[in-house]
Amino acid sequence: MPVSPIAPVQGVLPTNYVAGTGVATGTDGSAFGASLTGAVDNLRQLQSTSKELAISAVTGNLDDIHNATLAASRAQMTLELMAAVRNKGVDAFNEIMRMQA
């Protein structure tokens, strides 16, 4: 059975992103918030799927353990990505707060 690639994190691009230009059209920050909300929702779905497959594996109701392993890896990698984005956001905020007025 071939290994399927890890799906990209959904909702990373802002909803007002103009394809091919590399820029978003708005500057009010709502698109960034919507992007983060979409990414968190995707993470929750990945974690839920991983948990369901893990429970199926433990109870013996899972035919292919590879699916559970892949789901757990996807959820872990997405969580690590979200943590890195959060840390960069906090670092940027702290840097802005250190700037002189």
CA dist list (Å): 96 to 25, 42, 47, 65, 73:
23, 29, 33, 47, 35
> Mean pLDDT score of the chain, rounded to an integer?
82
The burial class, CB within 10 Å (0-12 / 13-18 / 19+), for 38 is middle
pLDDT above 90 covers a percentage of the chain that reads 51
Q: What is the tens place of the pLDDT at every residue in 15-29?
A: 555 555 555 555 677
Q: What pLDDT is stored for residue 6 in this prediction?
A: 67
Q: What pLDDT is stored for residue 35 in this prediction?
A: 87
